[in-house]
C-alpha cells in the first residue's frame, strides 16, 4: 500500500486570464539550515512545489509546496519504510493521455505511479502542471487500524524563502524528545525505538562499527531498543554547511539521557505560569508563587530563557451570564499592576530576587520556626545522600513545614524538586469586592548565548484565581462587641451595586451584605425583624482568622428580605467571647 498527494497547483493573480498556464513545478530534497532558538541546526527537507515561472511582472514571486514530515516507519523495513520520505514524485502537464505522460484516470494508473521509485525532473517550461507525491510501501492496513501521514503546506518568497518556511515547519513537527516513562534505561545511547520480540538478526545500531556486526535476537515478550534513525543523525552531524558551534554529536541524536518519547508540533512559547496561591486579608491580598517558570526550559528550543514575572489584577467583574469564578474575567478587565525581571540588560531590569523585607519579592518562609537553620541543614544532608527519597519529617514539625523545608533544601543544593517562593501584597483593594489575580512569566531572546530583548509573554487568562478581601476575625483578648457590624448600612440598590453580580443558580440575588469583625471561633448569626421574627440563621467559622460572613438577603423561607430595620445576634461557641448585638437597615 502507498499513500500520497495529488496536487493541481496554480500560481498567479486570479484577475489575470489563464494565469495557470505559465507555472513550473519541482522537488527539493536536501539539508537546510534552520534557526532553533539561539542555534543554527541542519534539518532534512523534502518538498514538492509549484510557482509562476516569470513571476507575472513581480505580482507572483511566491512559491508554495507540500512538505512530507512524517509517517509510520519500521526499523526492520518489513511493515513500513525504514525512514520518512518521498519515494515517488511525478508531474504532468497538458491534455495528453496517460500513456503519453498525462494524468492518471483510474485507480490502476494511480497505483502504478504511486508505487514507482522514480522522481521526474523539475519542470521550468511555463505550463499548467499537476504533481503526485507518494511514500511506501506499507505492508497492510488491518481493519480498525490507522496509518498516519504528516504533511505541511509551506509558502515563501522564491525557492530560498520556501526553504526557510519548510525548515521551520519541519522543526515544529520534529518537536523534542522527553523522558515520559520516567525510566532512565529507555531512550539511551541514541536508541529511541522499541522493537518487540520475537526477532532474529536485529542490528541495534547500524551506525556503530561494533554493534553493526553483532546482530541480536529477542524472545517473545522482550523489548530491544534500537537506533532506527542513526543514518539521518550521522548525515546531519556530517553536514558541513550549517555551523554547529559548540554542539556535540549527542545533540543531534534522539533517544539520549532516558528520553524515549518524541512530542511533535512544538513551537516556542512563553514560560509556563508558576503555581500560585492567594491569601485574602483585611484590605489586602497576598500572592505567593513558586519558581516553576524559571526552571522549565522552552519546550521547542530546550533553552532556559526565563526573563521575568508580571502580576495582573482584574477589577469590575460582574459575572456576566454564563460565566463564573472558574471561567474568569473578560480580557479587557485585566490590568498589569507590577513587573520585575532578571537584571541582565533587558528592560525593565528591576530585580525580583531581593528579599520581601527589603522591598523585593523573594519570600522567606518559616521565619518564626525555631532552629530553622538546623532543620534546613538536616534536610540538605538527607537530600544530598538520598536524593531519590523523601526526607523523614522530624518530630514536632507539621507535614507542610517539612514539605517546605525539603523544597528549600533541594533548591539550595540545585537538586530536582527544589523551589524558591515569591510574595507580593496588594493593598489597593476593598473588602468584599471581587478580584482576579494572575502571575505570568515571559522570556528573552538569546543571541550568541546572551539575552538581548524580550521574547514571548504569558497571558493572564492562563493562570488566574478569584479572591475577595476579608476583614480579620477578632481575638478573645481584644474582642469588642461594637466592632461587629454590617456593611453596607443602609443596604440599598445603590450601596450594594459596587459588588453586585449577575444572579445564577447558586446565588439567585447577586447581592449581599457582610458581617465584619466576627469572633475568631465558630459562631451562629441570627437575623430578626424588629418584631422579633427570625429571618435567617447563618453559621460562621472564624477559627482561621476570617472575620467576614456574607448574607444574600434571602430569608430562611426563600423570600427576599423586605425594606425595614433588622436586628442581628452573634453567638460565639467559645466562652471567651461575649455575644454581640447590632442592627442594620434594608431599603428596597
- Residue ranges per domain, the chain? 3-174, 181-263, 276-362+420-467, 481-586
**Confidence class of residue 459 from pLDDT cuts 50, 70 and 90?**
very high
- Inter-residue contact 409 to 383 (CB < 8 Å): yes
The answer, yes or no, to whether residue 312 has pLDDT greater than 90, is: yes
- Inter-residue contact 537 to 557 (CB < 8 Å): no
The answer, yes or no, to whether residue 77 has pLDDT greater than 90, is: no
The pLDDT assigned to 74 comes to: 86
Q: Do domains 276-362+420-467 and 481-586 have the same CATH topology?
A: yes
Q: State mean pLDDT over 53-66.
A: 94
- CB burial of 537-562 (b: ≥16 within 10 Å; e: otherwise) equals ebebebeeebbbbbbbbbbeeeeebe
- CATH fold label, 481-586: Immunoglobulin-like (2.60.40)
- Inter-residue contact 320 to 330 (CB < 8 Å): yes
155-179 pLDDT tens trace: 999 999 999 999 999 999 999 999 9
Q: State mean pLDDT over 435-449.
A: 94
What's this model's pTM, rounded to 2 decimal places? 0.80
How remote is the C-alpha of 447 from its chain's centroid? 24
- Inter-residue contact 505 to 473 (CB < 8 Å): no
206-222 pLDDT tens trace: 888 888 899 999 999 99
CATH of domain 276-362+420-467: 2.60.40
Q: Which of 59-68, 406-415, 481-490 has the lowest mean pLDDT?
A: 406-415
- Inter-residue contact 525 to 569 (CB < 8 Å): yes
The answer, yes or no, to whether residue 121 has pLDDT greater than 90, is: yes
What phi, psi does 127 have (nearest 5°)?
Answer: -155, 180
On average, the pLDDT of the chain sits at: 93
**Confidence class of residue 53 from pLDDT cuts 50, 70 and 90?**
very high
The answer, yes or no, to whether residue 411 has pLDDT greater than 90, is: no
Distance CA 166, CA 172 (A): 10
521-578 pLDDT tens trace: 999 999 999 999 999 999 999 999 999 999 999 999 999 999 999 999 999 999 999 9
Work out the percent of the chain whose per-residue pLDDT is above 70.
100
Q: State mean pLDDT over 494-513.
A: 94
**Confidence class of residue 431 from pLDDT cuts 50, 70 and 90?**
very high
Amino acid at each position: 500500500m502507498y499513500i500520497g498527494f495529488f496536487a493541481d497547483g496554480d500560481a498567479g493573480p486570479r484577475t489575470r486570464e489563464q494565469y495557470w498556464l505559465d507555472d513550473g513545478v519541482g522537488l527539493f530534497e536536501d539539508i537546510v539550515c534552520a534557526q532553533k532558538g539561539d542555534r543554527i541546526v541542519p534539518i532534512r527537507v523534502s518538498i514538492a512545489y509549484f510557482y509562476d515561472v516569470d513571476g507575472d511582472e513581480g505580482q507572483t514571486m511566491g512559491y508554495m509546496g507540500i512538505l512530507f514530515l512524517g509517517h509510520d516507519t519500521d526499523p526492520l523495513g518489513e511493515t513500513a519504510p525504514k525512514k520518512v520520505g518521498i519515494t515517488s514524485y511525478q508531474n504532468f502537464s497538458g491534455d495528453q493521455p496517460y500513456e503519453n505522460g498525462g494524468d492518471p484516470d483510474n485507480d490502476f494508473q494511480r497505483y502504478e505511479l504511486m508505487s514507482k521509485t522514480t522522481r521526474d525532473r523539475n519542470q521550468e517550461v511555463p505550463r499548467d502542471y499537476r504533481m503526485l507525491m507518494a511514500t511506501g510501501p506499507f505492508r497492510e492496513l488491518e481493519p480498525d487500524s490507522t496509518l498516519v501521514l504528516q504533511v505541511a503546506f509551506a509558502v515563501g518568497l522564491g525557492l530560498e524563502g520556501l526553504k526557510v518556511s519548510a525548515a521551520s515547519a519541519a522543526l515544529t513537527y520534529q518537536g523534542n524528545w522527553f523522558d515520559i516513562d520516567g525510566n532512565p534505561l529507555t531512550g539511551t545511547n541514541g536508541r529511541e525505538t522499541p522493537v518487540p520480540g520475537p526477532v532474529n538478526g536485529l542490528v541495534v545500531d547500524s551506525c556503530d562499527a561494533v554493534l553493526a556486526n553483532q546482530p541480536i535476537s529477542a524472545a517473545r515478550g522482550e523489548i530491544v531498543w534500537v537506533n532506527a534513525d542513526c543514518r539521518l543523525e550521522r548525515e546531519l552531524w556530517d553536514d558541513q554547511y550549517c555551523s554547529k558551534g559548540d554542539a556535540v554529536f549527542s545533540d543531534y541524536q534522539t533517544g539520549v539521557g532516558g528520553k524515549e518519547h518524541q512530542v511533535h508540533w512544538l513551537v516556542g512559547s512563553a514560560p509556563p505560569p508558576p503555581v500560585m496561591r492567594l491569601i485574602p486579608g483585611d484590605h489586602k491580598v497576598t500572592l505567593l508563587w513558586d519558581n516553576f517558570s524559571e526552571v522549565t526550559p522552552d519546550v521547542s528550543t530546550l533553552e532556559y530563557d526565563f526573563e521575568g514575572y508580571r502580576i495582573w489584577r482584574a477589577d469590575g467583574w460582574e459575572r456576566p451570564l454564563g460565566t463564573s469564578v472558574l471561567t474568569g474575567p473578560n480580557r479587557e478587565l485585566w490590568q498589569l499592576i507590577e513587573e520585575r525581571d532578571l537584571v541582565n540588560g533587558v528592560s525593565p531590569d528591576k530585580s525580583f530576587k531581593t528579599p520581601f523585607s527589603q522591598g523585593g519579592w523573594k519570600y522567606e518562609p518559616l521565619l518564626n520556626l525555631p532552629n530553622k537553620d538546623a532543620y534546613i541543614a538536616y534536610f540538605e544532608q538527607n537530600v544530598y545522600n538520598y536524593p531519590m527519597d523523601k526526607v523523614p519529617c522530624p518530630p514536632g514539625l507539621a507535614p507542610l513545614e517539612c514539605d517546605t523545608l525539603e523544597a528549600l533544601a533541594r533548591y539550595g543544593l540545585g537538586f530536582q524538586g527544589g523551589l524558591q517562593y515569591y510574595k507580593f501584597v496588594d493593598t489597593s483593594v476593598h473588602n468584599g469586592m471581587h478580584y482576579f489575580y494572575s502571575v505570568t512569566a515571559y522570556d528573552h531572546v538569546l543571541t550568541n548565548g546572551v539575552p538581548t530583548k524580550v521574547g514571548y509573554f504569558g497571558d493572564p487568562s492562563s493562570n488566574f484565581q478569584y479572591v475577595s478581601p476579608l476583614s480579620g476575625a477578632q481575638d478573645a483578648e481584644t474582642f469588642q462587641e461594637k466592632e461587629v457590624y454590617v456593611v453596607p448600612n443602609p443596604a440599598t440598590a445603590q450601596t450594594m451595586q459596587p459588588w453586585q453580580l449577575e444572579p445564577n443558580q447558586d446565588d439567585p440575588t447577586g447581592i449581599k451584605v457582610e458581617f465584619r469583625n466576627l469572633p475568631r471561633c465558630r459562631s451562629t448569626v441570627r437575623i430578626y425583624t424588629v418584631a422579633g421574627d427570625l429571618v435567617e440563621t447563618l453559621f460562621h467559622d472564624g477559627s482561621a482568622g476570617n472575620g467576614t460572613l456574607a448574607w444574600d438577603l434571602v430569608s430562611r423561607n426563600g423570600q427576599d428580605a423586605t425594606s425595614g430595620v433588622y436586628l442581628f445576634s452573634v453567638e460565639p461557641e467559645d466562652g471567651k467571647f461575649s455575644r454581640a448585638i447590632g442592627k442594620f437597615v434594608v431599603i428596597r
